[in-house]
Amino acid sequence: MDFLKQNSIFALVAQRLSFGLLTLFIISLLIFIGVEALPGDFAEAILGQSATAETVEAFRQELNLDQPPVQRYFSWLGGFVQGDLGTSLANGRPIADLLGWRFKNTIFLASIAALIAVPLAVIMGIAAALYRNTFFDKVLSMTSLSMISFPEFFMAYILIALFSVKLAWFPSIANINEQMSFAAKLNAVVLPALTLTLVVMAHMMRQTRAAIINILSSPFIEMANLKGLNRLRVVVLHAFPNALSPVINVIALNLAYLVVGVVIVEVVFVYPGLGQLLVDSVSKRDIPVVQASGLIFAATYILLNLIADILSIISNPRLRNPR
């Protein structure tokens, strides 16, 4: 029987993995088609109007633009799978070198925001469910709705005006480098991390509250209440573990947003992450970097969603034993 259960779990994981790979393939195709659909001649746009026809043709051959689109697509995708992301047109450096440090910075910023947002959101969600329909719950609900309604750039500028301009506690430009100490990096990313925290924490808190309240109506919770168990114990030890599946899903989705949705925050704070590189590359028409950055963002988002699906299957007996 245990063998059959393990096989069903492996089958579900393999199914999610295959769907993830298929989704990534479709996204890579859409990215390539989107770049191909850009108006104008790419080689002429890079070289300028003063370039001769021979120079333009040589540049087209160098970029393999003289090849059929299908051949160029599979060549680009094959190189990406093997770790060869091509060369930047802006500075001639390998794209993998450019993206490595930038992506590490993006992960660093997202990790700091997640370490703050996830525990706070779960604790506040449990507290809101514990004191449901009280003044405390209503204040949390109104505050979370306000946080969800505000766009990232608005929150960022409010924090800059308060903590950087008026109080002068933190820098308004989150510029970090490899020579800085860990404490200096933390001080530099406080405001962008706080911006991301305020944006994603509200959604996770509300979902945690809703999942726990849904479990509180279950018969086994009513039995625990009839036994006279403390309400805090009932919520934390009985309701919350059974609400883990939807909570894990919403946390993973928001973590994916932290990594993929940092573009606006990085631009506002001039943070040297992958999102800032993507925006700079678009302005410079450095298409190979744009393609690689977009595909890395997509792969990260799909990977985090896949992890969320696997954790949901493990934490939910109904998913482990589908009937």
Q: How much of the chain is helix, strand and coil, in % rounded to 5?
A: 80, 0, 20
Looking at residue 1, its pLDDT comes to 47
Q: What's the pLDDT at 39?
A: 65
- If phi > 0 it is left, if psi is from -120 to 50 it is alpha, else beta; for residue 254 that is alpha
In the chain, beta strands by DSSP E: none
- 87 forms beta bridges with 94
Confidence bin at 18 (pLDDT 50/70/90): confident
CB 263 within 8 A of CB 275: yes
**For 49, left (φ over 0), alpha (ψ -120 to 50), or beta?**
alpha
Structural domains in the chain, sorted by start: 92-297 (1.10.3720.10)
Summarize pLDDT for 137-182 with one digit per residue, the tens. 788 878 877 777 777 778 888 888 888 888 878 887 777 777 878 8
Q: CB atoms < 10 A from the CB of 77, how many?
A: 18
Please report which confidence band the pLDDT of residue 315 belongs to, taking 50, 70 and 90 as the band edges.
low
Confidence of residue 76 (pLDDT cuts 50, 70, 90): confident
